[in-house]
Chains A and B, each alone.
Chain A
């Protein structure tokens, strides 16, 4: 009896920690923000309530919706291309040692170059169009995806491949029934990291190369009348959508076919 009530109270405590605590910290953060703006007496930097009003204004004008769609459109394309190239490339490099030795140096040299450094090149090649930020997102996310896929193949437990050989799987079945599921957990983790980078990059790219999207909103709001309430509104939306994207991929990590790769392994 007392055992079950103790268990119940433990559960409530967990739920409090999980949901109530972050909300509390969030509210506290907003209060401090508000207080600091009041104390400083700044009339440019917005209070939280003004940012909320700014978001309302953007929604009313239909701009918020439009800009979010524009940014997500670019990320979707750039990231999809990066997956389409990076995953096969990584699996290939992981499976054939010669491919790894051939391609890895090039990748390792290109990888540390910030996507921002590519902006002039992107404008040169693609002009001020959607293609430029899409190219930048592709560049920024393709390497982490390829590298994590290659590592995933290299990390496959040899015993799984041997078992598959014992059952005389065809090359295609070996790939489909063993290599893909065995590497999926690590590939998804790579995708999560790459998507975070892609989102960082789209905002940066939109500040320079295009005239729509959340990155453009921020630059535009500042240039057209120092509307810092809209600047911060844009920042808040970027953060929220980034969080949403991360949660989306995290949901993939909870699928039954990949969960084995994250715990007690």
Chain B
């Protein structure tokens, strides 16, 4: 595969990135979620009337404070848990269970520790012919930059490399959509930056739809075509911010900073003190961008 596809302008034509519309591949309609508590009255209301749409090929980030229900929402969209009410339609069908055409990349690394890199990446390809499987597996191992580690076990890899294995495993089964739940949350700062750049490169090569959850506003602005901002719990999507910035993104440019600040405002955070509107402090990582 050539790297020519990494031309930052090649897929942002038209600027009609609004998710709303008939061509949305993911439609979240009035989703409510309440977890039953141990006793009456101790129920946890997590989601309240969430609406969202994701278009084919779009990179959408969902940001929100830790504990607001981002993972819950993504798990509902992926079919792991049913919503209390409302519905999720993906590619025209109502979601009620996980589907191999949409792969989830987990917050806690989901790579199987008893399999080598090759075996992990080929996990979803058991029905393919061995030769074809081998070809696909090698292709994606190369794409995520793990060439030479084919026979390594996850315990022999760094945290960033393990996330690369999981991303390759997701790509190898050639899904149309990838759901990612804070996949880089456990990595150090520099590794995170590198992973983001690589993810954008891969997304541009593969033309997948990606729905990416993070609590890190910087991360969302670096990655997304569109950022959906969630409120604190019980959460809903309060605002959507379009990120019409060319890639690769210059994180010092005034345009970048303007978009980032809009999201801070949408989340109701004072950028200088890191305090949210009602006085509670959010996760520091998403609040002190310059540090």
Contacts and interface: CB of A to CB of B under 8 A. Distances in A.
Interface string B80-102: 10000000000000000111101
B179 to A, nearest CB: 9
A218 interface: no
Given A168-B98, A168-B100, A260-B155, A163 B80 contact: no
B110 A260 contact: no
Interface in A163-195: 163, 165-168, 173, 177-178, 181-182, 184
B153 A260 contact: yes
Interface stretch (A46-54, A81-89, A154-162, A198-206): A154-162
A189 to B, nearest CB: 15
A162 B155 contact: no
Report the interface size class on chain A: 20 to 34
A264 B97 CA distance: 33
Contact of B108 (A159, A166, A260): A159
B112 A168 contact: no
B106 interface: yes
A168 B99 contact: yes
A258 interface: yes
Contacts of A11: none
B100 A260 contact: no
Chain B contact surface mostly:
loop
A184 B114 CA distance: 10
A165 B114 contact: no
B103 interface: yes
Contacts of A167: 100, 103, 123-124, 173
Contacts of A157: 108
Contacts of B110: 159-160, 162-163
Chain A contact surface mostly:
helix
A256 interface: yes
Contact of A165 (B80, B108, B115, B123): B80
A261 B154 CA distance: 12
A166 B155 contact: no
A256 B114 CA distance: 7
A197 B123 CA distance: 38
Interface string A146-159: 00000000000101
Interface in B100-126: 100, 102-104, 106, 108-110, 112-115, 123-124, 126
A180 to B, nearest CB: 9
Contact of A166 (B98, B112, B154): B98
Contact of B80 (A162, A184, A260): A162
A259 B80 contact: no
B98 A256 contact: no
Interface of B: 78, 80, 97-100, 102-104, 106, 108-110, 112-115, 123-124, 126, 153-155, 173
27 contacts: A159-B108, A159-B109, A159-B110, A160-B110, A162-B80, A162-B104, A162-B106, A163-B104, A163-B110, A165-B80, A165-B97, A166-B103, A167-B100, A167-B123, A167-B124, A167-B173, A168-B98, A168-B100, A173-B126, A177-B123, A181-B112, A181-B115, A182-B112, A259-B153, A259-B155, A260-B154, A261-B113
Interface of A: 157, 159-160, 162-163, 165-168, 173, 177-178, 181-182, 184, 256-261, 263-265
Q: Which 6 A-B pairs have the closest CB atoms?
A: A260-B113, A181-B114, A163-B110, A168-B100, A159-B110, A166-B98
